[in-house]
Structure 1
Amino acid sequence: MTIVAKIPCTIVTGFLGAGKTTLVRHVIEHAKGRRLAILVNEFGDVGFDRSFLAACGVEGCTEESIVELPNGCICCTVADDFVPALETLLARDEPPEHILIETSGLALPKPLVQAFQWPAIRSRVTVDGVVAVVDGPAVATGAFADDPEASAAQRAADTSVDHDNPLEEVFEDQLLCADLVVLNKADLLDAASLAKVRAEVEAHLPRAVKLIETQNGAIDPRVLLGLGAAAEDDLANRPSHHGEGEDHDHDDFETVALPVRPAVTAGDLAARVEKAAETEGVLRIKGFVEVEGKPMRLVVQGVGRRVSHHFDRPWRAGEARDGRLVVIGLKGFDQGAVARALAG
């Protein structure tokens, strides 16, 4: 009897803006002919991550190689979106040799790992590893931790106040499921801050997990692909804030896609985005915008109050140049204030 080897899948998780898409793109660019397929999931409807990956310009990285799952977080749409998409990839005449799955920044990875136990796919694929990408500067500024003294004061003043930190919960769940942690943007931290961040991340890990420091997601694909974790058979060692079968939603977060007029200069747009990012509760801003007189598409990314931009490729003939930015934030953030700031 011929035993067909399972196709390995790598799940790339990490909070909003950690650098998951940049890391996946780096893997694509250095795959050296390996036949990859990418499933990318976004919390928003601009399709930023798929378009950014498809613009890599690498031979063999075709539009068909990248499948977008846009309906919210993949951890909540396993049956409706993820499993059918995976089955479609497996049914190809030339199935991929390795599948990369980039989750939304708000997704919990464990429900996705559990899906690999489904009879329809269990015999055909395996979770080679869960890679958690961490935004080093965000951890250093305390983005995922409450101020214990402030929380205690609030609790004393009003016992009905809910002190759960939704950012910390998602961040922890992503680390608790990891087989490898990539501490990204390490170049933006000094030695003392980097050591502090490493210690904080390691304090969240329930078991021995390798931690690699990097910048711009530049990791040798051989480090990420081939972990051999078979994570679907190791769920007991991957604790979560949510028990099996427990409902998980994202009521603490919301997203909006806003039109943005063409920018006079890239700097002009960056200033508007920086102003928008100052709005209380805004976590992530990303999208594509036209710059007047420029043939190239401008990529804009904001994480917290850090904003970056670059031109990634020429606008295609007949391509709509309607600028749009997707903004993700805590529930109730002032969308009007964001829109006004982007309008300039």
Structure 2
Amino acid sequence: MNAPLSAASAARPGQTRVPCTVITGFLGAGKTTLIRALLEKADGRRFAVIVNEFGDVGIDGELLKSCGVASCPGENIVELANGCICCTVADDFAPALDRILALPQGVDHILIETSGLALPKPLVQAFNWPEIRNRVTVDAVIAVADAAALAEGQVAHDMEALAAQRAADESLDHDDPVEEVFEDQLACADLVVLTRTDLIDAAGLEKARAHVAAHVAAGVKTIAAANGDVDPVALIGLGHAAEDQIEGRKTHHDDELDHEHDDFDSFVVDLADPQSPEDLAARVQAATGVDNVLRIKGFARVAGKPMRLVVQAAGPRVSHYFDRPWRADEAAATRLVVIGLNGLDRTAVEAALKA
């Protein structure tokens, strides 16, 4: 399965292959925050970004475009919203890469933010296609993990223990796809960034580190961060050429011919403008309590406020902030994307959000 690329020059003068960093991680781990921090500390590098959304509203892409940093102008950000990037490599990723490599100014580095549900291995394997391999290389696969969630045991790492628990409680499923996706992301990582470390104590951080250590390859380092504040030197220019090593990274899905995310669902909810950020946050938090809801994110127009409100929820934690004024060329409205396991009660979620 090959996808043609144009013959346009991709690199800056003297540059052979453009390095790419694949940034993967579980839902709400902080991938977009990390990328924004990298762009703001570009130190002269010219970046491009490929953002893989899950759902019909490009929240993460909009957040990156609103950065307004010279290192990565809007035309250097490509959004893929037709499904999980690991399932649409030929149809979506290869053309997106071609578009970036054809930019007349050239780029120094490409950041690829996968969907929270994506498996990095099929994506990295695509870098070995002849039409792609001679133009780009995977500088590193970085897995972003929520240390606070891990410290609370929200992502199980011992599948045998989980199976034992299932014997006593039928509500537990040892084949939970969320667990497998998370573990596969760690298995393919060259570096792990633990985020939200400011929310836990030293014991919680050690618990999170221990969880990660159980699933990463030998020698993979773990670094801690708060609010995406990591020195770019630790993330960029690592030179791992991960495509050369990816076959040796064993994952849950190695024996599967195809990978589909039939276990996940997403939908968009349009809401009346809230009276206050706190009002909307309370309703979002209530909606996260509905069975099988994994994440809620979106933008809101608060009554009487000219600024756009960003709302994000992963589990019971809800964050919100005003990021910029609404532009004259966009429809100011309140729209949220709900992501969850297949079978989630859409009626119950909408009722909570519209209460």
TM bucket, shorter chain: over 0.9
State the alpha-carbon separation in 1 of the partners of residues 25 and 303 from structure 2. 34
Q: Deviations over 1:207-264 (max 9, x none)?
A: 1111000111111112111010000111233111112662111111111111021110
1:43 paired to 2:54: yes
Q: What residue is the counterpart of 1:113 in the other structure?
A: 124
Aligned residues: 341
Aligned pairs for 1:159-178 (under 5 A) are 163-178=174-189
Inter-partner Cα distance in structure 2 for 1:275 and 1:67: 33
**Gaps in structure 1 of 5+ consecutive residues:** none
Deviates more, 1:213-222 or 1:282-291: 213-222
- Paired with 1:285 and 1:175, the residues of 2 have a C-alpha distance of 23
Query: In structure 1, how many angstroms separate the alpha carbons of the residues matched to 2:37 and 2:291?
Result: 32
- Whether 1:220 and 2:231 are equivalent positions in the alignment is yes
**Contact between 1:129 and 1:229, CA under 8 Å: does it hold in 2?**
yes
Kept in 2, the 8 Å contact 1:143–1:167? The answer is no
Q: Deviations along 1:39-66, whole A, 9 cap, x unmatched?
A: 0001111100000000112124321010
**Is the 1:87–1:121 contact (alpha carbons within 8 Å) kept by the matching residues of 2?**
no
Higher deviation after alignment, 16-25 or 84-93: 84-93
Work out whether 1:6 is the aligned partner of 2:8: no
TM-score normalized by the length of structure 1: 0.95
* Residues 4 and 309 (structure 1), Cα distance of their counterparts in 2 relative to 1, 3 Å cut: closer
Which residues of 2 match residues 12-31 of structure 1 at below 5 A?
Answer: 12-31=23-42
1:303/1:8 Cα in 2 relative to 1: closer, same or farther (>3 Å)? same
Q: Mark the runs of 5 or more structure 2 residues left unpaired by the alignment.
A: 1-12
- Taking only aligned residues, the RMSD between alpha carbons, in angstroms, comes to 1.9
Give runs of aligned pairs for residues 42-191 of structure 1, distance below 5 A. 42-145=53-156, 151-152=163-164, 154-155=166-167, 163-191=174-202
Query: Are the aligned partners of 1:11 and 1:100 in contact in 2 as well (CA < 8 Å)?
Result: yes
Aligned twin of 1:239: 250
Instruction: Tell me if the contact between 1:272 and 1:342 (Cα under 8 Å) persists in the aligned partners.
Output: yes
Q: How far 1:156 sits from its partner (Å)?
A: 7.3
SS state at 2:335 partner: strand
Q: Among all aligned residue pairs of Structure 1 and Structure 2, give the percentage whose two residues are the same amino acid.
A: 59
Residue 201 of structure 1 is matched in structure 2 by: 212
1:274, distance to aligned residue in structure 2 (A):
0.7
Partner SS, residue 114 of structure 1: helix
Q: 1:268 and 1:316 mapped to 2: Cα distance?
A: 24
Q: Distance in 1 between matches of 2:189 and 2:198?
A: 23
